[in-house]
Structure formats: structure tokens, C-alpha cells
Amino acid sequence: MNKYLRNFQQTFIIAEIGVNHNGSLSIAKKLINKAKEAGADAVKFQSYTTENLASHNTPKAKYQFDHNSKNESHFKMLKKLELNFKQIYKLYKYCEKKKIEFISTPYDVKNAKFLNKIGMKIFKTASADINDFFLHEYLSSIKKTIIISTGMTNLKEIKLCLKKYKRKNNIILLHCISCYPTPIEILNLNNIETLQNLFNIRVGFSDHSKGLEAATLAVSKGAKVIEKHFTLNKKMKGPDHKSSLNFSEFKKFVKAIRRTEMILGSYEKKCLDEEKDMKYVSTKSLALRKNIKIGHKITKNDLKLLRPNKGIHSVNVDKILGKKLLRNKKLNEHLLPKDVK
């Protein structure tokens, strides 16, 4: 398990650059710089060979017509945005230099093998490839963290995919709705708990909704990884810019998640240092219902509970019943350990 993901002391935030580099290394590097500045733990690209991914007559998805030439085919769009091995390696080394985790989604075994060869530590598969048994068979053979996105899938498909993996401790499932942008009424964040409970596996959330709310709610549901599309400018040409966050939005996005983590706090229930003064003032301890003289044997009828918590704790009442009072005590005085024997 990658060191950032091992203990999940905080949510692992991925800035999904995807193809928002528009085929330019210069833009890709600017995106890496800005993602790092915004507080992302990782950036993610896409590694594919267009000829091995789509046929020439593959239609575009509806959202892919935004900020794109309407006459440009799906194949041509992908080809224009494709990064070759040399470019991917340069971006991997650039991320090393900038101290931000590099991730790229492989769309076939050849690209996966290259990414493994250069030393990429975290692999993430696309929702559309959950049934690519060639890809998952290869990924199951390497000792790397594997993040599996689950958009457009059902539980049977997820279960069949996970059967390829003998070790589950390095697997993370991402709840995802493959709709750009995703309307809030179909986000179904309860699926995070469904996946956790059914597969006993760590779960994250690939967020395609507008705004910050869904991701923070996902963290409160137990999501350990959050992914969100990231761009330099929403008005740039390309299929994903419109449904991405720009720098200022992504910075707020990271802050909102970190604030949510702070609010969620610890699983350990205890009296906090910040509560101790209030506990002393507002909780009760044993006091006397009446004036009592030295030598009297304490009974329940002698006692009541009274603020502040300066006397014997109420849980110890049975231990002092029948004991003798060592000094005269007045009505409403607290009973102290030194008062009885």
C-alpha cells in the first residue's frame, strides 16, 4: 500500500487532470503546479493508445460536444489528446520533482506495463474498464495500490472484477456516477456504505457533481479517496473542462475536505481537556441533604447530588454507605473522601 494511503490518516485527494492538458506538456506541467499549490495529494492523467481504445465510428458522448468541434469524431478527439510514453515519463519525473503523486489511468495492458516499469505506485482503472479482464488480470499480478472506479456498474460486475484480485488490502473502490456533471439527485452517496459493507473494502468517491458539498458528505460517509476534475480554465476547448474545478475552486475544495475531517475528528470517546472545566462546573457529586454530626453512619437518605463536581463521584455511593462521618457536615456540603471512614 502506498505510504499516503496506508493508514488513511487524512483523505487522499486526487486532482483529475485527465485530458485537460489538451495534448500539451506545457499545460500539463502548469496543471501539476497548480494542483500542488491547491493542496492535492496527487494528479491523475490518462494513458491510452487511441487505435487500441476506440474505432473510427465510435460516437461522442453528449457532454463531449461542449467546447469541442461538433464535426470532430470521437477518435480524432482522443488522438489529439493522447500522450505518448515519452510524454508520460516526463510528467512522472516532473511530479517527482514537485513532490506530488503521479497517477495515470491505463486503458490497456501495454500502457499499464509501461506505467509499472517507470515506477508508478498507484494505479486507477476507469469505470468503463471494470469488465476488461485482460487489464485487471495484469494489475492483480503487480504489488501496487489499485483504485477501481465503479461508474455505470452493478454489484455483480464489481464482484466479478474483484475475483481477479487475490489480495484485497491494496484495493480501493471508487463510488462514481458517470454523468458530467452529475445532478445531486442521482449522486447516491449511500452507495459508499453499500460497497464498504458488502465487500469489506476501502471506498472513495469520484466526484463529477458541481460544487463542494458532495465530496465533503462523501468524506463523512467514510470515503478515503476523493477525485475531482481539475482545469486551468473552464472555457478551454476540450471535453472535460466545463465540468472541472479551476484553481481557486479546487483550493476551496481541498480546504472544505480538510475542514470536514477536522469536524469528524476522533473515533475515541473521552472527556476532552477543553471540556474539563465545564465538567467540573456542571456535573454533580455527592452532597448532604441535612446537617450531620461526626460518627453518623451514612445512609442513602443522607445524600443528594449537587454541583460542582468537587465531592465523591456518584458511582462510588455504594462504597460509602454505612461508613462513619469523621467530622460535622452541614446541609449542601459536598462529601469528600477524607470525610468518611
Burial tier of 30 (Cβ tally within 10 Å: 0-12, 13-18, 19+)? middle
**pLDDT tens for each residue of 289-337:** 999 999 999 999 999 999 999 999 999 999 999 999 999 999 999 999 9
Using DSSP's 3-state secondary structure scheme, residue 287 falls into: strand
The DSSP symbol for 238 reads S
Q: Are 68 and 4 in contact (CB under 8 A)?
A: no
Q: Is 301 exposed, middle or buried (0-12, 13-18, 19+ CB in 10 A)?
A: exposed
C-alpha cell at 301: 437518605
What long-range pairs does 153-161 form, CB within 8 A, spacing at least 24?
A: 153/127, 155/194, 155/198, 157/130, 157/131, 158/130, 158/195, 158/199, 159/199, 160/131, 161/130, 161/131, 161/136
| Cα dihedral 199→204→208→212 (10° resolution) | 140
pLDDT of residue 59: 78
Q: What is the pLDDT of residues 33-77, one digit of tens each?
A: 999 999 999 999 999 999 988 888 777 666 555 555 566 888 888
> Looking at domain 12-264, does it have CATH number 2.40.50.140?
no
Q: Which letter, b or e, does each residue of 255-268 get, where b requires 16 or more Cβ atoms within 10 Å of its Cβ?
A: ebbbebeeeeeeee
Phi and psi torsions of 105, nearest 5°:
-80, 115
Residue 1: pLDDT over 60:
no
Q: How confident is the model at residue 6 (pLDDT cuts 50, 70, 90)?
A: low
Among residues 60, 33, 24, the alpha carbon closest in space to that of 236 is found at 24
CATH assignment of 273-339?
A: 3.90.1210.10
Query: Which residue, 231, 227, 211, is CA-closest to 219?
Result: 227
Q: Where are the domains of the chain?
A: 12-264, 273-339
Encode pLDDT of 230-263 as tens digits: 999 999 998 889 989 999 999 999 999 999 999 9
Q: Output the average pLDDT for the chain.
A: 94
Q: What is the pLDDT of residue 66?
A: 56
Q: Tell me whether strands 303-306 and 285-288 are parallel, antiparallel or unpaired.
A: antiparallel
Q: CA dihedral defined by 155, 157, 159, 163, rounded to 10 degrees?
A: 180
pLDDT tens across 99-131, in order?
Answer: 999 999 999 999 999 999 999 999 999 999 999
pLDDT in tens, 150-202: 999 999 999 999 999 998 899 999 999 999 999 999 999 999 999 999 999 99
Give the pLDDT of residue 75: 86
Contact 303, 289 (CB under 8 A): yes
pLDDT, position 250: 98
The span from the CA of 203 to the CA of 194, in Å, is 10
Q: For residue 326, which phi and psi values (nearest 5 degrees)? A: -95, -5
Q: Report pLDDT digits (tens) over 200-233.
A: 999 999 999 999 999 999 999 999 999 999 999 9
pTM, 2 dp: 0.88
- With the C-alpha atoms ordered 164, 168, 170, 171, is the resulting torsion angle positive or negative? positive
Residue 71, pLDDT score: 67
Instruction: With a cut of 80, say whether residue 137 has pLDDT above it.
Output: yes
Report which of 260, 248, 256 is spatially closest to residue 35, judged by C-alpha positions.
Answer: 248
How many Cα atoms are found within 13 Å in the side-chain-facing hemisphere of 181? 16
pLDDT at 5 over 90: no
| pLDDT of res. 239 | 86
Residue 198's CB is within 10 A of a number of other CB atoms, namely 13
Contact call for residues 91 and 83 (beta carbons, < 8 A): yes
